[in-house]
Structure 1
């Protein structure tokens, strides 16, 4: 089939690669416009734009699929539109422009976690399983009939970043299978059923850790907001980034005296922080204005026996 592919972040590249290496033709890639990155705010193409350019695939850069973008896509006369984490809405008349409409690879077990941050929200919520689904794009958010899906356990130490990376590869295999079935005329779909939960985009406030929550809840949130927007707490008046944190073993918990929520102390060459239940261990941190470092190295430079984070 003749396809148009819409995607922006690196998580969409395995799907682009799978389709580009198949027997289908990608007439164009749609991605968001170059964005300023880094301290110098250098305008940088999206990961998908760079991947498409490396393959010689024409790229349409658009933050909104407006009349101009719709006209460009319609001129390509695609059989099918494919979306993986594009970051924008497809509305009529573009929704009906491809002969078979649009399909979307979504990283959740629909209808659970419809929205922009399904993997992050699943980790934060402490879900035991996640997965991916390929569904027919409709006007309502992530509500179309599902052509195929799979589920997988969420590893207890997985961050949203590591989980998304794994899902991007297995999801690409699912997506290609559905595209092949649509081309062959053998694809079938089922309507979504079950309770709907929403996964709105994470904002920076979602990444500030509340140490008054229990250790499990805190650890889930830390993993869910890693690497983006990036977990942090506040020490003094400065933001203190939490790059890697780990639960402590049960024996160490028994050895420790009560550690109040948000209180940081060192014990047996480990840097620990209190929660409403058992403490957690800080492994990698980044104080304001400094480079990432091992927590124990940061602690050696702290001229006190106790620090309180909030």
Structure 2
């Protein structure tokens, strides 16, 4: 099969690698180089770098316009395959490949149509999720489905870990569908069930609300890890929470109160506390939570103050409690 592939982030790489090993990938479409890091250095997308390593021709574009359509048409592809490209494929490009386009989407459609299906599934507390390969149509994630796979959502699994797993198993699913299309045996079925939407996560989605129960706080933390990254505000400074776990061994403490319990840093929720394991203070590198605690508590003690959190990120003056 002559295939045009479109994708941008690292989760699209396994499918590209699998297709390149089994078929003729005549072009890889990915988004333009983007500024990365504190120095905002223009950096190729993970898919662009992988395509270069595979010696595949690359088309960089943030909009799939007439120029891109002309380039694709000149290659006479049999099929287009898209995985997390970050933009819509519209006519006439949609109908340019002989068999149209198929899309690997990381959810059990029609649940979680949109840009952040895995993240939304984790935040919502879904116990089962998966991946779908469907026929691309003008409406968002609405095409008939060729194949699906399912997986359980681990109780401590982050969206990053889950997405990485689905990226690899999903690559195999794409190969199965491509083989069926090539052999003329592929059959797609309409999506059935309630449609739910998975819009892109904002920074507000990543702020933890300590007035909520632990289960809800922990799901949100896992859902927004690694991006955009769970955070709260301590003494007016954003504190990113890289790793945490339920602290069922610690007695309930007021929501947002930070304490030292059995040598670990815990934060109160509406019921069971959350134990902080690794944090990323503003302007510093990631570190163990206990090291951050040791750095902020002496100044609080000297001022006769302690730090606490609330859902609005304000600073309150409390008696310092160490347990």
> When the two structures are superposed, what TM-score results if normalisation uses the length of structure 1?
0.96
| Structure 1 runs (4+) greater than 3 angstroms displaced | none
Encode CA deviations 1:164-205: one digit per residue, 9 max, x unaligned. Answer: 000000000000010011001011111000000000001111
Tell me, yes or no, if the aligned pair for 1:265 and 1:307 is still in contact at 8 Å. Answer: no
Partner of 2:62: 63
Structure 1: how far apart are the matches of 2:114 and 2:242?
25
SS at match of 1:155: coil
Cα shift at 1:40? 1.1
Deviation at 1:222, TM superposition (A): 0.1
Kept in 2, the 8 Å contact 1:137–1:143? The answer is yes
Aligned to 2:202: 203
How far does residue 289 in structure 1 lie from its aligned partner after superposition?
1.2
Quote the offset at 1:238 in angstroms: 1.2
| Structural RMSD (CA) | 0.9
Matched residue, 1:29: 28
| Secondary structure in structure 2 of the residue aligned to 1:127 | coil
Q: Please report how far the alpha carbon of residue 233 of structure 1 lies from its aligned counterpart in structure 2 after TM superposition.
A: 0.4
Q: 2:113 maps to which residue?
A: 114
- Tell me, in whole angstroms, the C-alpha distance in 1 between the residues paired with 2:236 and 2:289: 19
The answer for unaligned runs of 5 or more in structure 2 is 314-323
Q: Say if 1:10 and 1:47, in contact at 8 Å, map to a contact too.
A: yes
The Cα shift of 1:142 comes to 0.2
The CA distance in 1 between the partners of 2:259 and 2:117, in whole Å, is 35
The one of 278, 299, 308 aligned to 2:272: 278
Counterpart of 2:13? Answer: 13
Instruction: Report the count of equivalent residues.
Output: 304
1:127 & 1:202 partners in 2: Cα distance?
Answer: 17
Q: Is the 8 A contact 1:6 1:29 kept in 2?
A: yes
Tell me the alpha carbon deviations over residues 226-255 of structure 1, each in whole angstroms, 9 at most, x when there is no partner. 000011001122111100010123xx23xx
Task: Please say if residues 234 and 240 of structure 1, whose CA atoms lie closer than 8 Å, have aligned partners that are also in contact.
Answer: yes
Q: Cα distance, 1:66 vs. partner?
A: 0.8
Is this contact kept in 1: 2:264–2:290, CA < 8 A?
A: yes
Q: Partner of 2:3 in structure 1?
A: 3
Secondary structure at the residue paired with 1:198? Answer: coil
Mapped partners of 1:308, 1:76: distance in 2: 60
Equivalence for 1:260: 254
* TM-score w.r.t. length of structure 2: 0.93
Written as runs of structure 1 = structure 2, the 5 A alignment for 1:87-106 is 87-106=86-105
Find the counterpart in structure 1 of residue 319 from structure 2.
Answer: none
